[in-house]
Amino acid sequence: MDGVMNPTTNIISFDLTTTSLRDVNHYLHHQVSPGNHIDIHHPNGAHNLAVGLQEAIAVDIHGHTGYYAAGMNQLASVTIHGNAGAGVAENMMSGRVHVKGFASVSAGASAQGGLLVIDGDAGLRCGISLKGGDIVVGGSVGSFSAFMAQAGHMVICGDAGDALGDSLYEAVLYVRGNIKSLGADAQIEPMTEDDQAIVANLLEQAGFSHNPNDFQRVASARQLYHWNADAKQDY
């Protein structure tokens, strides 16, 4: 079933109280063209909404989403005007996903490209196994965020929970607030001019006005890159 076209704005609207999730996702995959703007109303926590989009379209979701919203995104710009459940923007490849509210666990997990913006707080394991994407969190993140993050950047405007950056590889984290504890092999390093430029750029893209000088850099100490039999698991 096709959506309703607003002749004034050229926005195509769907209402999930009258159109099935399957039909909406089918439309997003098979009937859109680059430049289309889609509005989705009354998502009511639906899971797997707007997953795997491959066109340069704009999608506005007006309400809260369930698991894996906007996962595997390519090219699309998806805005969630509410909170997002577990795994929002999981394995994102490119494009932009913006959560106007809060995000549950594993936001941006394994993201390989693109930008994830979360205006509020993010739960546990935000950015776990990050592989090249960028994440900006306006609030705080839960424990084990950026666990095994391999590439990309995470800007945290609030606080960070326990074990931030545990087993970190080449991703770099920037934290404005307090860090409850660092994970194995993560360490605080001096901010450079390049770091300040990266933070300033990501904050601008996310629409936040914080001073980049207020952030700390967290990166890998690179002690876990090779097995050390003498360490006896004490790193």
Query: In total, how many domains does the chain have?
Result: 1
pTM above 0.85, yes or no: yes
Write the DSSP string, 118-136: ESS-B-TTTTTT-EEEEEE
Write the CATH number for 147: 2.160.20.60
Mean model confidence pLDDT for the chain? 94
Sheet holding 58-62, edge to edge: 4-5, 11-15, 37-41, 58-62, 77-80, 96-99, 115-118, 131-137, 151-156, 172-175, 216-220, 186-189
State residue 2's pLDDT score: 63
Residue 78 belongs to some domain of the structure:
yes
Within-domain flag for 46: yes
228, part of any domain: no
State the residue range of the domain holding 207. 4-222
Tens of pLDDT, residues 59-88: 999 999 999 999 999 999 999 999 999 999
Considering the domain boundaries, does residue 227 fall inside one?
Answer: no
Strands 172-175 and 216-220 come out as antiparallel
Is the confidence at residue 1, as pLDDT, over 60? Answer: no
